[in-house]
Every structure is written in structure tokens, then in C-alpha cells.
Amino acid sequence: MAPTWLTAVAWTALAVAVASAAVIVVDVYGRGYRQRHMPVMEAVWPITALYLGPLAVWGYRRYGRPASPRWLTERGADHPPYKPRWAGVTVDTSHCGAGCSLGDLVAEFVVFGLGATIAGSGLLAEYVGDYVLALGFGLVFQYFAIAPMRGLSFRKGIVAAAKADILSLTAFEVGLFGWMALMVFVFFPAPHLTPTSPVYWFLMQIGMALGFLTSWPANAWLIRRGIKDAM
């Protein structure tokens, strides 16, 4: 069992994350700051808030809002303000991280619900499920970012999405999977935490934040090589 103080911290962190995601959703759909050129970012920002909380809200207000027609109209601008290179890489990483995080979230419940194991290990089953679904969601997110922007057909869009996403999502999962191993073998070796525990998801928030950090250099390299476009 997790200690009471950690459970309280977990509930607080999760509540702050959900509230942060809600703030972005209300701003986009309630106040009309829609994304004209890349609608998929309307999902990326709230999903990012589910593990980065207020940091995602700050990033959205600084670099997400300026991409909306309403923001430009209010300021009489023709295009969003200049975004430094690090910010473009960071937004790209959040895009990759959103697909990974959504896949991880779904996979964890599926693996737990099925009681799946690989070679007797639940962690290995989680790794496989997480990676497969992260890849699936990641390709979808990347396709809807790249294909409309470049005017690509479905086949060419999927190929471009795979080139842009596989390395970055693998780097994201490396950070997350390393943390998950610590959760199982160091923090809570017996009994293991399960997705029914708030502490589990609080620790997964930390793991996803670490995945964001391990994915950032990969995204920077992909952008530098012209494989991905800075957002």
C-alpha cells in the first residue's frame, strides 16, 4: 500500500492536471481559440496538460494561442510571432508525447483488465502494449500534422509520419519505460501498484515527463535533418 501522504500528493497532482487540461479545452472550444492550420493541436495541448499540468497551460498560452485566427484578429497580425528554435522543438515534442501518452494510458488499462503477461511478467506486457498503442496513436497524430501541411496523399502521409515519429516516440518510451521499471522493482516491488491507484498515475505523470525529456533531443535532431517540421 502507498503511504497516505503519497496518496494525497497523487490526488492533488491528478486534480491539478485535469484542471489544467480543462482550462485549455475551455479556451479552445469555449472561447474560440481554434487551430486553423493544425487542428490536431487542439487535442495535443490538453493531453500534454494531463502530465505536465500548469507547464502545458503556460506553453499553450505562449505558443498555442498565437496559432489561432482569433488571436491574430485580436492583434491585427497576419502571422504568429517568431518562435525560438527551442520552443519549436518543445511544441514538436509535446505533439509526439501526446500520441505516446494517449497510447500508454489506454494500453495500461487494457493490459491490466486482461491480466496479460509475457514470460510471466506483467511489466513486459505493459511495455509491448504501451509501445504498440503509442505507435498507433503517434502515427495518427503525426499524419494529421504532416499530411495537411504538406498536401500529401494518404500513403505518402503515413510514410512521412512514420519517418518523423518512430524515433521520437521510441525515445519517449525509453524515458517512460525506465521509470516504470523503477516503479516495479524499486518503489513498489510487492505488492505492485495497479492502474486503479492514484499513486500509479501520479508516478506515470512523472514517467511521461521524463519521456518528454528523453524525446526532446530526438525531435531536435529530426527537425535539424529536415525529417520533421518545427511547429
In-domain check, residue 35: yes
How many structural domains is the chain composed of? 1
In-domain check, residue 73: yes
The pTM assigned to this predicted structure is 0.92
Per-residue pLDDT of the chain (231 residues; tens, 9 = 90+): 789 999 999 999 999 999 999 999 999 999 999 988 788 899 999 999 999 999 999 999 999 999 899 998 998 888 888 889 999 999 999 988 999 999 999 999 999 999 999 999 999 999 999 999 999 998 888 888 777 777 777 888 888 888 878 999 999 999 999 999 999 999 999 888 999 999 999 999 999 999 999 999 999 999 898 888 777
In-domain check, residue 162: yes
In-domain check, residue 85: yes
Domain, as residue range, for 213: 4-224
In-domain check, residue 231: no
In-domain check, residue 230: no
In-domain check, residue 62: yes
For the chain, the DSSP string reads ---HHHHHHHHHHHHHHHHHHHHHHIIIIIS----SS-TTHHHHHHHHHHHHTHHHHHHIIIIIGGGSHHHHHHHT-SSPPP--HHHHHHHHHHHHHHHHHHHHHHHHHHHHHHT--BTTBHHHHHHHHHHHHHHHHHHHHHHHHHHHHHT--HHHHHHHHHHHHHHHHHHHHHHHHHHHHHIIIII--SSPP-TTSHHHHHHHHHHHHHHHHHHHHHHHHHHHTTSS---
